[in-house]
Structure 1
Amino acid sequence: MIHEHPLAYVLGLQGIALLQGFIGEHDRDFIEARLAEIRELLDNEQLTQAVEVTPVSTVDGYRTWSATYDSPSNPVFEMDVPILKEILADVPAGMALDAACGTGRYAELLAGQGHRVIGVDSSPDMLERARKRLPDSEFREGTLHHLPVDEVDLILCGLALTHNPDLGPIFAEFARVLRPGGHLVVVDMHPDAILRGSIPTVRGPKGEPCRVVTYRHSMGDYLRASLSNGLTVRRCEELRSASMLEKTDSPGPWDVWPWSLAALAPEAAYAATGPQMVIWHFQADILHTM
């Protein structure tokens, strides 16, 4: 179980902001404002009720989330497309794999760039939506550890690696599937965003609070997993949202945590906010064989 305490979260944001002030990133007025805000937060009785949250598998979590996954209100889906289009513009059209394809959002992008697309996902509910979205593409059930494909020119894997505890075996499978000189593009939640609680929220069958099991990998974890499997880094982008939250006085319902919690202390939250997503572009060595 995960013990999610609203006061602990907002104090954590304040702590990050104050540490930045300690090394000179903020002035005296900012620091004093944070300390005054902390005193107010400590007196806020609405922040005393913690929630016990159950981690659930991707299959169970995405079964629920698939119905609203492509909602326009999901801001993450607006951040990565410009960079992805830049990267894909330099990759010749060929056989492309959308690994952990979900509802087919990236598969649609790949098809639009002229690629022949195969999508793979472990969630039957997501695959059903992907097939309706792109009836002319092929979608197969499978996992990142055992991809049901042979050789492809390009792999695009989005927002999936954080749900796995060890990146090494997955990158080994990517290397097995990629043709020599092939390209791998990975979009993932940035480890800083995971630290700030950017983890999918779902409700269980009885309405109980659940989050899809998620792991925080360092940037070095991605490098070690890729380089040891014959993949060279071509590009790395860290994407940050620059929007400031509007201040509120209520923690809001659990379903919108941690965003509603951050709005209790928007200046501290803005200061504490780092990159939201990371995009990696790798290329398989020409002479690399598995």
Structure 2
Amino acid sequence: MSLRSTDDPPFGAVVVDLVRVRDCLALAAVPAALLGIFLLPESSRRSLTFLYASPTLTTAFAAHFVHFRVTHLASNLLGYGVFAGVAYLLAVLAGRRRLFGAATGTFLLALPPVLSALNLALPRRAVGYGFSGVNAAFAGLLALLIPIYARARLASWIEFRHAPAVFFVVIAITPVVALPPSTTSLGITLTCGVLGTYYVHALETDRRRAGGVETAGSTRGWLDLLVVATLLCVGFPFVGFGAGATGSATVPNDYVHLLGFCLGFIGPYVCLVLELFDTDGSTG
């Protein structure tokens, strides 16, 4: 069963109608802030890094916006533009602008100190900085928004409760990319693979129950965005893990990214389970 019909406006027209300039300006404030901090003297930036040996609440927050290398900054700006940008498109086209706004505010204000605090679970003399953990949270949010968007624009039998299928598939891939072969990595992959398979099977069962009615309307653009978002999400482990920092005094990127991805998915998912967010109304 699909929600597309011959009377629906084309993809491009709906995007232009629903994407708001003020939203884009708000999203653009993040790269502007990262660039502004990068232009500070190096001594000032170093004073904002998170020291495991002497953590403070200020550095627990500020360190996630600090970069020292152009390549590090550029990769995080690109990651933010891709993951936050696509997540925003999925959210507004699915009528979930408020959910995206609340999640983004949480990722930018509350998540950084939480990630820093959780990093203290690994006792060591290290220094943490960089926006990659927050970017990982947007990748986690993307995993949740994929089925929400698919339900709103392509197939009404898909539910947000199918989102763990995407989540567990990504987590199953992660040990293969991030960890050397071991019993632990194999166990994680197999466990998450089984869980992912369970949710995929539930998705297929719901599709059969719905009868698989085809739409008479064009899915051009709508389906393309869904495919791009899915590829980005499933491909996240290949760009987000296994390429950690080389310095011994740097927080392991893989740990930060895993925390960010999991929290970015679980938090909004729980909010939807508790029905804290309704749709924004008409989705165009």
Do both proteins adopt the same fold according to a TM-score greater than 0.5, normalized to the shorter chain?
A: no
Greater fraction of residues in strand:
1
Q: TM-score, normalised by structure 1?
A: 0.28
- Does 1 or 2 have the higher relative contact order (CA < 8 Å, sep 6+)? 2
